[in-house]
Amino acid sequence: MNIADYLYISNIILCAVLAGFMVSYSITLGAYFTYMLKNGKLKQLQETYTPFRETTRAKMWYSVWVIAQTVVALLSLIFNAQNHFLIAQIYAVAVFPLYMIFHQIIGFGKVEEKVNSGNKNISNIEVKLHSRYNLTLHRIYAVLYLIAAIWLIFDIVK
């Protein structure tokens, strides 16, 4: 195997890991966040999650994983443009940027950061926005990453 093969396989693994993370988030942590917000417990959520997030560097570690997948997908595309299905590789590169763009367009990214960072200036509208979209968005992202992983795998086994 060569570097191109390792990059391609790493891309598949990272897409699958992120799909699994998004599913797990939707079932556990994200469901907990939504539960707390829907039940008027923003203050309690922020009193516990925000210090955890800061001391464990959870946001940084999450960023490392999603950025690593995007970088590996881009490198894999560069090294494998001729060897594997081009559209699947472009899609794998695009998942995280599309996720971030959509997060920002609907305003969820800003609200999510306010909730997670402990910002006390959160309106009821923002709480409702977070509660309404949190699980749905992360389930969609899980599917997007899963599609990328499966599409890349099918290119190998074709």
Q: Which of 29-38, 80-89, 120-129, 145-154 shows the lowest mean pLDDT across its residues? A: 80-89
Whether pLDDT at 116 is above 90: yes
Provide the 3-class DSSP secondary structure of residue 101.
Answer: helix
State both tokens at 58.
């959870």
pLDDT of residue 156: 82
Whether pLDDT at 158 is above 80: no
pLDDT for 26-58, tens place per residue?
999 999 999 999 999 999 999 999 999 999 999
Q: State the residue for tokens 């994200």.
A: 30
The span from the CA of 56 to the CA of 34, in Å, is: 21
In 3D space, the residue among 81, 67, 101, 80 whose CA is nearest the CA of residue 4 turns out to be 80
pLDDT of residue 149: 97
State both tokens at 24.
């797990």
pLDDT for 60-106, tens place per residue?
999 999 999 999 999 999 999 888 889 999 999 999 999 899 889 99
pLDDT of residue 1: 86
pLDDT of residue 121: 93
Mean pLDDT for the chain? Answer: 95
State both tokens at 29.
């942590």
pLDDT of residue 83: 82
Amino acid at 58: A
| Residue 106 belongs to domain spanning | 3-157
Q: State the residue for tokens 């539960």.
A: 35
For range 111-124, the mean pLDDT: 94
Largest CA distance in the chain: 55
The span from the CA of 106 to the CA of 80, in Å, is: 34
Cα 158 to Cα 40, 86, 90, 151, 153, distances in angstroms:
51, 14, 18, 11, 9
Number of domains in the chain: 1
pLDDT of residue 85: 86
